Amino acid sequence: MRVRAPRGLTFCVCLSMQCLGPPGKPTLTNCRSPEKETFTCWWKPGPDGGLPTTYALYYLKDNSETVYECPDYHTAGRNSCFFNKNETSVWVNYNITVVATNKMGRTFSDPVDVDVAYIVQPHTPENVTVNVMEDEGWPFLRVSWESPHKADIRSGWITLVYELRSKMEGEEEWEEHFPGQQKTFNIFSVRSGSSYLVQVRCRPDHGFWSEWSPTTKTKVPKFFLGRSLWILILVFSILVVLILAWIIYMNCHSLKHSILPPVPGPKIKGFDHQRLKNGSYKDGLGALMIPEYPPSSSSNDDDLLVEYLEVFVTGEQDISMEEGKEIQDHYCKSESSTCDSDSGHGSCDSHTLLIDKCKETSKDELNSNCEDASEIIELEISQNNQDEKTLSYDGRPDTCNGRVKTWPSVFTPLPQYTLSAIPQKSSLEIVKQHCLSDTLFPPGSMSSNLVNQNESFGPSYWEFSLNSKQLPQIHSQSSKHLQAYSDINISKKDNEITTLFKSTQYVEVKNVNNKDMVLLQPVESGSQSHAEGCPHVHQGKDYSKVKGVNSDKMLLLESGVNVMGQETATCFCDKSETNAMKESGYMSSANVWKHKHPPMQTVLPVQEEQKPFAANGYVDTATMFSVPM
């Protein structure tokens, strides 16, 4: 039943300055249910029109036509209607209207539809307590509360979710947390020594939030660092102290030096006090001395006849030191071996740095090695015994390692080869031997010295121990002399046998083996034919004179032989001495070999006894052969 109330104002009868009329229209403000079992509706009355007005609430349930009136106007206070449990139906639509009545008339409010299930707003949570607890030295807050006492959570009638907020005293913004349906919550980010404020509220799963609970205040006591933190700090500092101590201990010396630098003592560079004390500096000191020249061999019985001519063919100059350690070793060995007392080796001491290096090697060792070595090619210049001018090779240890040693001219020119007693003849030309050696032929430094081919010398041959590279190419076309020249500038040329060999030794190319070695053999036939000792020397063009070493480290030979003492050359064709020298020497052509040659093995069965020398042995050389260095 709806009654349209006339507007009160129109019927206002002004009596004594008061407007009287029907009441104004009330309005339902809200209806709330705290626990979904009861609910209350409040209205706001309109102007009462100056007359006492009564209000009544009527409702309809679920679109039925029955009108009910509010059962309880007082419980919930003024202008309210309270529905108790019996009258509350959930999931039922209430159509509520408030009517204001006074003497003048009635006024109805606008109807409102209410479903209790959707107007639930619980009370605030109760008994909110905050406790300060400790977790391994760190404080935290534990908040706990209870549901509003009327809400029936236990039976499941209502399901509540909670919300919590906290802030530090003095802060402006709250920090919100959602415990869900729990009733406890831990706040961990807590600073010790400050106060905290906490509030809780709740809400049904479909409904309105409750009011915030009254603020609970807690003070967090000041934790002066938890015990565990102290332990951690202690351990850490101990570690740091230990590390520092260890570092100082390790650098004790350097620290000492930097703080208290030691007093320097007198010292000569390169001078070893100990050795001086030990007296082993004889040789060393000897190295400092300029060797006498002519060598002491001149004081030998055979005066300037050097018994052995050792020709060393080494590798490249730059890598000479290392390469072929064997070369050096050979050098060393031969060097030391050359330093015999009785064969004019006095001059050997000062020779090259190579020699110096070799000083350390024990001579005995070398000698012993030498004696047994049979594969070592030796350059032996033996004098033809016929004329007693042969250089006899007596298997000196020096020659056992027989290398063609060539010494750069920069060094003191001394024959590096040991020569056996060579009958010295004044007529003997200076035999200069050019040993083909990379190391020993610095470009341009090669002094082409003529080697006396010396027929006067007996058949002599030398064996070359070739190691890689720089061996003059053997040109097997024409028999040419290969004359070893010692690159020694013999200033003194009295007898000039400072070196070597008196007679020209010739070898010819036998073949080239698989090791890139050119095998030479003494030209026996020729020599044999000239048994009387007339070597074919200087037949035609003879390119056996070393012109020099060019920049490519090529050994340049030139035609023409500056033969000295040609006339005195005698043919020493000692057949008997030609025995095993077939393979004696070999020279590898520079052209053929590349730099990276494997070191040539000298395949020379060196005979201890004699190294017969094919007087007519020719080493065919190319017209121009170069020794790659």
SS3 of 82, please? Answer: strand
Q: Using CB under 8 A, which of the segments 84-92, 190-198, 306-314, 517-525 binds another protein?
A: 84-92
Of positions 126, 134, 135, 152, contacts another protein by CB under 8 A? 152
The residues that bridge with 13 in the sheet, in sequence order, are 20
- Helix (H) / strand (E) element for 549: namely strand 545-549
Q: Which of residues 155-194 bind another protein (CB under 8 A)?
A: 155-157, 159
Q: How far is the CB of 169 from another protein (least distance, A)?
A: 39
Residue 596 interacts with another protein (CB under 8 A)? Answer: no
Count CA atoms within 13 Å of residue 74 on its CB side.
0
Residue 2 interacts with another protein (CB under 8 A)? Answer: no
Q: Using CB under 8 A, which of the segments 153-161, 275-283, 390-398, 529-537 binds another protein?
A: 153-161
- Helix (H) / strand (E) element for 27: namely strand 27-32
Q: How far is the CB of 141 from another protein (least distance, A)?
A: 31
Q: 363 φ, ψ to 5°?
A: -70, -35
The answer to whether 101 touches 109, Cβ cutoff 8 Å, is no
Of positions 4, 74, 154, 269, contacts another protein by CB under 8 A? 154
Q: Which is nearer to another protein, 60 or 592 (CB)?
A: 60
Q: Which is nearer to another protein, 88 or 144 (CB)?
A: 88
**Residues binding another protein: number (CB under 8 A):** 23
Write out the two tokens for 260.
Answer: 């208290």
Residue 4 interacts with another protein (CB under 8 A)? Answer: no
Q: Which of residues 43-62 bind another protein (CB under 8 A)?
A: 62
Q: How far is the CB of 123 from another protein (least distance, A)?
A: 17
Of positions 2, 10, 17, 63, contacts another protein by CB under 8 A? 63
Q: Which is nearer to another protein, 10 or 155 (CB)?
A: 155
Q: DSSP secondary-structure letter at 17?
A: T
Q: Work out the angle at residue 210's Cα, subtended by the Cα atoms of residues 204 and 215, and round it to the nearest 5 degrees.
A: 135
Q: How far is the CB of 154 from another protein (least distance, A)?
A: 6
DSSP string computed for 84-117: -TTT--TT-EEEEEEEEEETTEEEE---EEEEGG
Q: Which is nearer to another protein, 36 or 480 (CB)?
A: 36
The residues that bridge with 196 in the sheet, in sequence order, are 168, 218
- Please, which contacts does 170-174 make with residues 24 or more away whose CB atoms are closer than 8 Å? 174/199
For tokens 């603020």, name the residue: 215
Q: How far is the CB of 33 from another protein (least distance, A)?
A: 11
Q: Which is nearer to another protein, 159 or 280 (CB)?
A: 159
Q: DSSP secondary-structure letter at 518?
A: E
- Residues written for the chain: 629
The answer to whether 627 touches 482, Cβ cutoff 8 Å, is no
Q: Which is nearer to another protein, 2 or 277 (CB)?
A: 2
Q: Which is nearer to another protein, 33 or 626 (CB)?
A: 33
Of positions 115, 283, 371, 609, contacts another protein by CB under 8 A? 115
Q: Which of residues 384-423 bind another protein (CB under 8 A)?
A: none
SS3 of 69, please? Answer: strand
Q: How far is the CB of 88 from another protein (least distance, A)?
A: 6
d(Cα 400, Cα 217) in Å, to the nearest integer? 109
Burial zone of 491 (CB within 10 Å; 0-12 exposed, 13-18 middle, 19+ buried): exposed
Q: Where do contacts with another protein occur on this chain (CB under 8 A)?
A: 36-37, 62-63, 85-86, 88-93, 113, 115, 117, 152, 154-157, 159, 205-206
